[in-house]
Chains A and B, each alone.
Chain A
Amino acid sequence: MANEKKEWPLWEVFIRAKNGLSHRHAGSVHAPDADIALRHARDTYTRRMEGVSIWVIRSSDIAASDPADAGPIFEPAESKVYRHPTFYVVPDHIKHI
């Protein structure tokens, strides 16, 4: 039954390595629901104390930007160097700025 889609849906797994850090994408698992997705994520991605907290989200619920649009999306920021502190010249004798 190769064509009959019976597989469990895909979930993306995010793990907080320790408190103070953000959750970070670790990989994905298949699971029928969120509870089992969390359990699978724990067994698959935290066998060596890699985390203190796990998020899972159905992969199909993620909206992502298209790499083909990377130009229009990200290039406008390229010319705005004045958003960085290094753009401004401060004389050497001025301190703490």
Chain B
Amino acid sequence: MYTTEMSKNPTQLGPSAAEPPELIEAFEARVANDEFIEPKDWMPEAYRKTLIRQISQHAHSEIVGMLPEGNWITRAPSLRRKAVLLAKVQDEGGHGLYLYSAAETLGTSRDDMIDALHSGKAKYSTIFNYPTLNWADIGAIGWLVDGAAIMNQVPLQRTSYGPYARAMVRVCKEESFHQRQGFEIMMQMAAGTPEQKAMAQDAMDRWWWPALMMFGPPDENSPNTAQSVRWRIKRETNDELRQKFVDVTVPQAQAIGLTVPDPDLKWDEARGHYDYGAIDWDEFWAVVKGEGPVAKERMKARTEAWEKGAWVREAAMAHAAKQAARRQKEAANG
């Protein structure tokens, strides 16, 4: 999802011929040995590029992810829910910032990443191109979307790039409340009036499949997975993580009386896992290309916020420059 290959024709990863083989070998050995790579260490260009893409994509997802939920802060059904949602959305903003900082240690700049997002060059998780139609969607997002995100992010706490791994430790610590508050909303609605329960089920029906798609294309269509796993940029494959998510989430749905919208879903005793139905990958690729129901709205909200904030950023810089000049003058005269 956040961390998955999101360009349909990804460039093949691999060391470049121009790089000294002894450096590559030493690097590969360190990574294979589960050592962390730190910003100033030598690393293959392809490793650096893959990380910049993955971490910035992840950061963009956190930032764009604030939009569908931020949308509901003013309409939360109680003060408690409002305070909780506000805290969650603020956390997501924080996650974006930790991740942008981690990417910057690889030599990219904040401005370049934000440009790439706003120009459409950079991708973000497809999940945020679906609309949040009613309050139950906030429950479904916390439970399913943050749940899938956690599944993805937990192994990344041991990813080979130090700053990314440290950001993930912090993110994971904060995520678990996100999932719980969403589950709590769903649990309460599912136990409420028939109308409330129907809303919860409807939200489940709409978010289940997009949540499964968050793990990215199936392994056989994910050409760089092997290299990414070898470099410890990814620690588990898309399908492994997706299966884990299904296995833990289905019993949760059953426990609160909601139905998983998949007629093919059944427990496979031999595998010790749930079998699940086919995922509509055409829909996924359409959403990746920006054809999600609200893709344009999301980018419009993002760029507008950025542009409207420009004068604040510029004024703050001008103020800082003026203060610095004043201090310098005082020091000279003092």
Which residues in window 136-191 of B have CB below 8 A to A? Answer: 166-167, 170, 174
Complex: chain A residue closest to B166, CB-CB: A27
Cβ of B223 under 8 Å from chain A: no
CA–CA, A33 and B166, complex, Å? 26
Complex: chain B residue closest to A25, CB-CB: B166
- Interface of B, secondary structure class, is helix
Given A7-B111, A8-B317, A47-B94: A27 in contact with B38 (beta carbons within 8 A):
no
Chain B residues in 8 Å Cβ range of A2: 111-112, 115
Complex: chain A residue closest to B324, CB-CB: A33
Complex contact B101–A67 (CB within 8 A): no
Question: How many cross-chain pairs have Cβ atoms below 8 Å apart between A and B?
Answer: 59
CA–CA, A28 and B40, complex, Å? 16
Complex contact B97–A7 (CB within 8 A): no
Complex contact A27–B98 (CB within 8 A): yes
Complex contact A66–B40 (CB within 8 A): yes
Complex contact A33–B40 (CB within 8 A): no
Complex: chain B residue closest to A30, CB-CB: B110
Given A8-B316, A68-B42: A47 in contact with B90 (beta carbons within 8 A):
yes
Contact pick for B110, options A7, A43, A45, A47, CB 8 Å: A7
Contact pick for A10, options B38, B42, B104, CB 8 Å: B104
Chain A: minimal CB distance from B171 (Å): 11
Contact pick for B323, options A6, A30, A33, A47, CB 8 Å: A33
Chain B residues in 8 Å Cβ range of A47: 87, 90-91, 94, 174
Chain A: residues with Cβ within 8 Å of the partner, total of 22
Chain B residues in 8 Å Cβ range of A64: 40
Complex contact B40–A67 (CB within 8 A): yes
Cβ of A73 under 8 Å from chain B: no
Complex contact A29–B101 (CB within 8 A): yes
CA–CA, A10 and B107, complex, Å? 13
Cβ of A44 under 8 Å from chain B: yes
Cβ of A80 under 8 Å from chain B: no
Cβ of B300 under 8 Å from chain A: no
Complex contact B115–A44 (CB within 8 A): no
Complex: chain A residue closest to B116, CB-CB: A2
User: Can you list 11 contacts pairing A with B, beta carbon distance less than 8 Å?
Assistant: A6-B314, A7-B109, A27-B98, A27-B170, A30-B110, A32-B320, A33-B316, A33-B320, A33-B324, A47-B90, A47-B174
Closest 6 CB pairs of A and B: A33-B320, A32-B320, A32-B316, A7-B111, A28-B101, A2-B115
Query: Given known contacts A28-B101, A66-B40, what 18 new A-B pairs fall within 8 Å (CB)?
Result: A2-B115, A5-B111, A8-B317, A10-B104, A27-B98, A27-B167, A29-B97, A29-B101, A33-B319, A43-B94, A44-B94, A44-B97, A44-B98, A47-B94, A48-B174, A64-B40, A67-B41, A68-B42
